Structure 1
Amino acid sequence: MSSDKQTSHVVHSLTIYQVFQELDGHLADTAEEYRYDVESGLVKLQNTIAGFTAARREQDERAARRHHEVTAAFETRRNLIKGPTAAARQQIVAERVAGLNISPLKITSTTSPETALRMGDAATGEERWSLTWLPEKVLTRQQAISAMVLDDIISHPDELDSATMMLVLTELVAELAMPLEQALVRLSFIKKDTKPPRPKRLTHPNPRGSQTVDHLKPILREAK
């Protein structure tokens, strides 16, 4: 009898899963709002997945645009450092030369009052030119054109970036056998309408001698 009594008090244990399964079943039977609509749930899940997909696509597109912008900026910076090719620099100079008024005796610019004048030719027949902004140098015709282009670029750089302009100016002053700093200082005095330091001698880029600048003053006054 004692054995039967012990048997009647045996308690069967339930797992957590079973408990919640029973609870879900009870709520589904008794609470309308607890019943799960499989179709609407599937639609909601699809919409959620689509939203995540769209957000990821937009994030990928933003990353691609940012990568393109960074790459383009890097290429632009590298090109500025490297500078334009020699052909591109020659094209820049050629376009400036085309804007000059070049005659056998005079070279003028539509953007600057500076002028190049032809003096008496050398004994060898080589043309000799003088500039209003650089009267102490006797130049060849090509050097006079380069000097006029240099003044034109400094006066009106237009769309040239600083790196390109410095490369072109450096090449132009090399033809004049003078440092770029000296040319810039001279032109800055001219643009401010002040007198630059007066040169002592008139010299040729490849001097065979020197002469005073006094005989050039009437010619320069007429050009102005």
Structure 2
Amino acid sequence: MTIYTTDDWAMTSDLTEESAVRVADRWTLAWRCSWMPDRLLTRAQALAAMVLAEVVAVDPYPCGEAAQGRMVAAAGEVGIPLEQAVFLLLRRRTA
């Protein structure tokens, strides 16, 4: 699981087609994630959204405490209920 950042303007993953891009300069809320296109995010939130996308790409319902903990922490950082995040990501995979 690797999230790649490009000159602090883009984030991509080696496990999923989801991405995040910086859409503004000098704004706190300056990032947009592909699976939440209607929300502006901070860089930390965009990174958390990418972590969620990677974990769901591997196993949307993990049994391990480490993966579950990563998902809960990432959803909390993004400010979205974990169930909603999993739903949105799975819906994009089947579309």
Structure-1-length-normalised TM-score: 0.38
Counterpart Cα distance in 1 of 2:68 and 2:30? 27
Unaligned runs of 5+ in 1: 1-95, 194-224
Unaligned runs of 5+ in 2: none
Higher helix share: 1
Counterpart Cα distance in 2 of 1:120 and 1:172? 23
- How big is the shift at 1:126? 2.7
When the two structures are aligned, how many residues end up with a matched partner?
92
Counterpart Cα distance in 1 of 2:67 and 2:3? 18
Q: CA RMSD in A?
A: 1.7
Partners of 2:29 and 2:40 within 8 A in 1: no
How much identity, in percent, do the aligned residues show?
27
Partner SS state of residue 39, structure 2: coil
What is the 5 A alignment of 1:100-111?
A: 100-103=3-6, 104-111=8-15
Counterpart Cα distance in 1 of 2:42 and 2:34? 15
Using CA pairs below 8 Å that are at least 6 residues apart, which structure has the higher relative contact order? Answer: 2
Counterpart Cα distance in 2 of 1:111 and 1:178? 22
Corresponding position: 1:116 with 2:20: yes
**What amino acid maps onto 1:111 in structure 2?**
L
> Which protein shows a greater Rg?
1
Corresponding position: 1:191 with 2:62: no
Partners of 1:121 and 1:127 within 8 A in 2: no
Counterpart Cα distance in 2 of 1:192 and 1:181? 17
Higher strand share: 2
Partner SS state of residue 167, structure 1: helix
Counterpart Cα distance in 1 of 2:12 and 2:47? 10
Structure-2-length-normalised TM-score: 0.85
